[in-house]
Amino acid sequence: MSGIKLRCSKDAYFDLTGPIIEVIVGDEKHVTFGVHENVICAASQFFKKAMSGDWSESKSRSVRLANEEPEVFHLYMQWLYRDTLPVRNDSPGLEGNAEYLQLAKAYVLGDLLQDGNFKDAVLDAMIERTTSKLSDGKMWFPVGPVIRHIYDNTMKSSEARRLLVDMYTQTGRSDWLRNWACPEDLPKEFLYDLAIAVLDKRSQPEIPAGSPDPCAYHQHKAHKSICYRSRLAQKPH
Ligand SMILES: [Zn+2]
Q: Report the SS3 class of residue 35.
A: strand
Spell out a b/e string for 185-214, using b for 16 or more CB atoms within 10 Å of the CB, else e: bbeeebeebbeeeeeeeeeeeeeeeeeeee
Give, for 26, the enclosing helix (H) or strand (E): none
Side chain identity, residue 132? S
- How confident is the model at residue 1, as a pLDDT? 41
Closest CA to 43 of 84, 79, 68: 79
How far away, in angstroms, is 204 Cα from ligand 1 center? Answer: 26
Whole-number Å distance between alpha carbons of 177 and 233: 41
Instruction: Determine the distance separating the centroid of ligand 1 and the alpha carbon of 215, expressed in angstroms.
Output: 4
Query: pLDDT at position 92, please?
Result: 73
Q: What is the mean pLDDT of each run of 10 residues along the chain (237 residues)?
A: 46 72 94 95 94 78 94 94 77 79 96 96 90 79 91 96 95 88 89 95 74 85 82 54
Residue 138 CA to ligand 1 center (angstroms) comes to 27
Between the CA of 128 and the centroid of ligand 1 the distance, in Å, is 14
Q: Which amino acid is at 215?
A: C
pLDDT of res. 12: 46
How many angstroms separate the alpha carbon of residue 6 from the centre of ligand 1?
13
Q: What is the pLDDT of residue 232?
A: 55
Helix (H) or strand (E) holding 65: strand 62-65
How far, in Å, is the centroid of ligand 1 from the Cα of 17? 29
Distance 160 CA to ligand 1 centre (A): 14
Ligand 1 centroid–CA 99 distance in Å is 23
What backbone torsions phi and psi does residue 21 show, to the nearest 5 degrees?
-110, 160
Query: How far does the centroid of ligand 1 lie from the alpha carbon of residue 26, in Å?
Result: 31
C-alpha of residue 216 to centroid of ligand 1, in Å: 7
What integer pLDDT is reported at residue 182 of this predicted model? 84
- Helix (H), strand (E) at residue 20: strand 20-25
Q: Which residue, among 71, 92, 208, has the nearest Cα to 140 in the 3D structure?
A: 92
The CA distances from residue 149 to 92, 132, 141, 160, in Å, are 20, 23, 15, 11
Q: What is the pLDDT, as a whole number, of residue 54? A: 75
**Residue 183: what pLDDT?**
85
Angstrom distance (rounded) from CA 130 to CA 112: 25
pLDDT at 237: 45
**Residues 6+ away with beta carbon under 8 Å from 207:** none
> What contacts 7, CB < 8 A, 6 or more positions away?
83, 84, 232, 235
Q: Give CA–CA dist 21/42, Å, rounded.
A: 14
What pLDDT sits at residue 8? 46
Q: How far is the CA of 95 from the centre of ligand 1 (A)?
A: 30
pLDDT at site 207: 67
Q: Give the CA count within 13 Å in the CB-facing half-sphere of 167.
A: 24
